[in-house]
Amino acid sequence: MLKRRNVPISDRGFAELALEKETGCVVGIVSHIGVAGNCAYARGVALVGKNGKLLHGAEEKRFTIDKNSGPSDDEQEKKEELTEVRAEMKQNRKNAKNSMLTRDSIGRNNKIDSTSSSRRPPSVSGGLTDEQNKQLIRLAMIVIGMAIIFRILSSAFLTCFALAIPAACLYAVRTCPRKATFDAKKELKRVLRGEYMPANHPEKPKNWWSETVTRVQASVTAEVATGLGHEVSFLEIYGLCILVTVNVPAMKLKLYFVGICDRWRYVYHMSSEPSREG
43-101: pLDDT as tens digits: 888 887 777 777 777 788 888 887 655 455 555 666 676 687 678 778 877 888 888 88
3-state secondary structure of 207: coil
- pLDDT computed for residue 109 by the predictor: 74
224-253: pLDDT as tens digits: 888 888 899 999 988 889 999 999 988 888
Q: In terms of DSSP H, where are the helices of the chain?
A: 73-119, 130-174, 184-192, 208-227
User: Among 8, 14, 52, 46, which residue's Cα sits nearest to residue 30?
Assistant: 14
Q: What is the CA radius of gyration of the chain?
A: 60
179-214: pLDDT as tens digits: 999 998 888 888 888 887 877 877 777 788 888 888
What is the pTM (predicted TM-score) of this model?
A: 0.41
Cα dihedral across residues 100, 106, 112, 115: positive or negative? negative
The answer, yes or no, to whether residue 222 has pLDDT greater than 90, is no
The answer, yes or no, to whether residue 125 has pLDDT greater than 50, is no
Nearest-5° angle of CA 203, CA 208, CA 214? 45
- pLDDT computed for residue 58 by the predictor: 77
